[in-house]
Amino acid sequence: MKFLLTSAGINNKSIHDALVDMLGKPIADSTALCIPTAMYGHPWVGPGVKAWQFISGKSENPMVDLGWKSVGVLELTALPSIDENRWIQLVQETDVLLVSGGDALYLCHWMRQSRLADLLPSLNSVYVGMSAGSMVMTPNIGEYFVGWTSPGGGDETLGLVDFSIFPHLDHEMLPGNTMAAAERWAAGMQGPAYAIDDQTAIKVIDGAVEVVSEGHWKLFSP
């Protein structure tokens, strides 16, 4: 699987071009599934208007509204209650997964419960994450970002990439997300860690990492 891990979606031409390159064909010829699940676990977002805006492509963060050939919804909380034959082939045949922000640990829990986490490494599609949707792919998120408490506790996530992410660097609506805060966060992480702003994404293909940015970012080495 190829990963395009963003802070706030496909926010500029550089990230857009990286996505098209990873797809290997135009967006208009590509099928997508959007996953809103992370939103339900976040106290600021939750179910309702924000989830509808993401699914309908009316969000501030460009992902669903890029002009896909088709867009479907994959709701992870529903998957454990239906037969796997009804959704696994759909996921396998989809060109891109668009995964919203919200709470990374809540998303991780439902990726595991639904068994999507088991399926991800075998997919040939592109995974596009936004904020928590990106952080869930890392080994852990750090105590700074723990909101929803998982049944097992801790801050561990899926570990499908080998670095951690501090999103929304220097965001005007998140005054605590400063570079100094990112440095303190990174000091508690075990491996490489990136602080990225909303104009930055991290592209991962076969383990090779490339930062795509028209903004600000920093790599913290362990």
pLDDT tens-digit readout, 115-145: 999 999 999 999 999 999 999 999 999 999 9
Banded model confidence at residue 172, pLDDT cuts 50, 70, 90: confident
Q: What's this model's pTM, rounded to 2 decimal places?
A: 0.95
Measured in whole angstroms, how far is the alpha carbon of residue 166 from the centre of its chain? 12
Average pLDDT of the residues of the chain: 95
Q: Which residues contact 26 (CB under 8 A, 6 or more apart)?
A: 20
pLDDT tens-digit readout, 33-63: 999 999 998 877 767 788 899 999 998 889 9
- Give the chain's domain count: 1
Predicted pLDDT of residue 221: 92
- Give the whole-angstrom CA distance, residue 198 versus residue 213: 9
The secondary structure element, H or E, covering residue 30 is: none
Predicted pLDDT of residue 59: 87
The secondary structure element, H or E, covering residue 195 is: strand 193-196
**Full residue range of the structural domain in which residue 198 is found:** 2-220
pLDDT tens-digit readout, 65-92: 999 999 999 999 999 999 999 999 999 9
Q: What CATH number has the domain bearing residue 19?
A: 3.40.50.880
Instruction: Annotate 6-22 with DSSP letters as a single string.
Output: ESSSS-SHHHHHHHHHH
Looking at beta carbons, which pairs linking 70-74 to residues 24 or more positions away fall under 8 Å?
Answer: 70/31, 70/32, 71/31, 71/32, 71/33, 71/34, 71/98, 72/31, 72/32, 72/33, 72/34, 73/33, 73/34, 73/35, 73/36, 74/33, 74/34, 74/35, 74/116
